[in-house]
Amino acid sequence: MRTRRQFLMDLAGGAAVLGSGALLPSLARAGDAQSVGPAGLPAGTLETSFLEALPGKRPLIKRTYRPPNFETPLEIFDQAFTPNDAFFVRYHLPQIPQVSAKEWKLEIGGDAVEKPFTLDLAALQRDFEQVELAAVCQCAGNRRGLSDPHVAGVEWGIGAMGNARWKGVRLKDVLARAAPKKDALEVISNGADHGSLAATPDFIKSIPMWKAMDENTLLVWQMNGEPLPHFNGAPVRMIVPGWAGTYWMKHIVSIDVSAQPCKSFWMATAYRIPKGKFPVVDRFLSQETDVNTPITDMVVNSLLTSPREGQRFKPGAQVEVKGIAWDNGSGIRTVEVSADGGRNWQTATLDQDVGRYAFRGFRHAFKAGTGAEMTVLAKATNRMGASQAFELVFNPAGYHNNVVSRVSVRVG
């Protein structure tokens, strides 16, 4: 494996900076024995991935420097809520300005409102009811690196996600002040980040008006009881619980209510899935075509956090199985665990329910057998009856990988 020093020497000038103006991540890193992702990632991905600390973050798994894309290590998911300094980082554009909370402004307008206006953070916090909600933010491409055959894009392992308590105001309350017109169709958001070249498509996203008016779609400034970290969208971001993280606009600076479908690159071309490939609960009708549809709600999924891949047990030893499950907000009904590669299944015990959009912990125990290897599986089912897949539903962008979680352990 190439060393971190060799990799950094390949960077032009040797003093590259992130688009935010911060120097390359801190030299702090864990030892070489630390895992930086599943073995199934494409050739070269593990060799160029390191545990690095962005400003305000503990060491995370570097997938790309520019723009910064950093993944949460597996061991962090032993807890229900993901600490702010361990929460994954996902950007599409490299220029990420530091937005002062005192100077931040949000412009609300568009062709489908009667009363456009601008507000600052003090007004957002003072003039609207404050609410708090636990929810998973997950990149649509989480586990993309495990696609077979491999596909283009950030080669994420299992950690492009996190669960937090978010505090802010309902988007619908803010929009009400702008008096949306009857023909309002989509709500379009834009953030302060941008590309290095004028020709780079700005990261602009939209959600249907009905989703914007959902009581759980929020504008938040607080995460796990603290102000949003810079690399997670400070000072204010949108959250759309149950939907893929692409709609969770960071550093939000403008909201337009439109009577027309948004035509941005990030809506019309990117973040789309083949029509009919997946069960879409929340349809985004104004953005659908005959062949594809925008990705919306997350599929049911789970992750084993214990035991770890390759962990060794003595015959007859107690094996503690732990993990997390999540979905689009329907809620987790059951998690089943198999200790023999899927031949037999037992129902795991679910941990406390901290919210239908949040991670749901689960646990189970069994005794190690006498064979040389055991394969532990976990399969989640939500309250709508949807379960994880046993085989990857392949799509060109590597979205919605919810293959049953699997870990092999050694006995002897």
pLDDT tens readout for residues 77-130: 999 999 999 999 999 999 999 999 999 999 999 999 999 999 999 999 999 999
What pLDDT shows up at residue 288? 97
Say what the pTM is. 0.92
Q: Got the DSSP string for 198-243?
A: TTSPP-EEEEEHHHHTSTT-EEEEEETTEEPPGGGTSS-EEE-TTB
Beta-bridge partner residues of 222 = 167, 227
Assigned token pair, 19: 């688009």
The strands making up 252-258's β-sheet, listed across from edge to edge, are 117-120, 105-109, 252-258, 186-191, 204-208
Q: Which of 240, 270, 271, 241 is nearest to 255 (CA)?
A: 240
Q: How far apart are CA 74 and CA 58, in angstroms?
A: 14
Is residue 163 a contact partner of residue 240, using CB atoms and an 8 Å limit? no
Note if the bond before 227 is cis, omega within 30 degrees: no
Q: Domains plus CATH for the chain?
A: 105-294 (3.90.420.10), 301-411 (2.60.40.650)
Assigned token pair, 39: 């073995």
Q: Which of 68, 18, 37 is nearest to 250 (CA)?
A: 68
What pLDDT shows up at residue 26? 52
Q: What is the pLDDT of residues 190-205, one digit of tens each?
A: 999 999 999 999 999 9
Q: How far apart are CA 150 and CA 88, in angstroms?
A: 22
Q: In which region does residue 153 sit, left (phi positive, over 0), alpha (psi from -120 to 50) or beta (all else)?
A: left
Q: What is the pLDDT along the chain (412 residues), one digit of tens a residue?
A: 444 554 444 443 333 445 444 445 554 444 343 478 898 899 889 888 999 999 999 999 999 999 999 999 999 999 999 999 999 999 999 999 999 999 999 999 999 999 999 999 999 999 999 999 999 999 999 999 999 999 999 999 999 999 999 999 999 999 999 999 999 999 999 999 999 999 999 999 999 999 999 999 999 999 999 999 999 999 999 999 999 999 999 999 999 999 999 999 999 999 999 999 998 889 999 999 999 999 999 999 999 999 999 999 999 999 999 999 999 999 999 999 999 999 999 999 999 999 999 999 999 999 998 888 999 999 999 999 999 999 999 999 999 999 999 999 999 8
Q: Could you tell me which residues come within 8 angstroms of residue 31 by beta carbon, excluding any fewer than 6 positions away?
A: none
What pLDDT shows up at residue 21? 45
Q: How far apart are CA 4 and CA 377, in angstroms?
A: 34
Assigned token pair, 38: 């599943």
Q: Dihedral through CA 227, CA 66, CA 55, CA 139, nearest 10?
A: 40
b (16+ CB within 10 A) / e for 19-30: bbebebbeeebe
What pLDDT shows up at residue 370? 83
| Total number of residues shown for the chain | 412
Tokens 């997670």 sit on residue? 232
CA distances from 120 to 36, 239, 253 (A): 40, 18, 10
Q: Got the DSSP string for 64-87?
A: ETTTTEEE--GGGGGSSS--GGGS
Q: Which of 175, 167, 170 is nearest to 214 (CA)?
A: 170
Q: Could you tell me which residues come within 8 angstroms of residue 194 by beta carbon, excluding any fewer than 6 positions away?
A: 93, 95, 200, 202, 203
Assigned token pair, 287: 């953005």
What pLDDT shows up at residue 39? 85
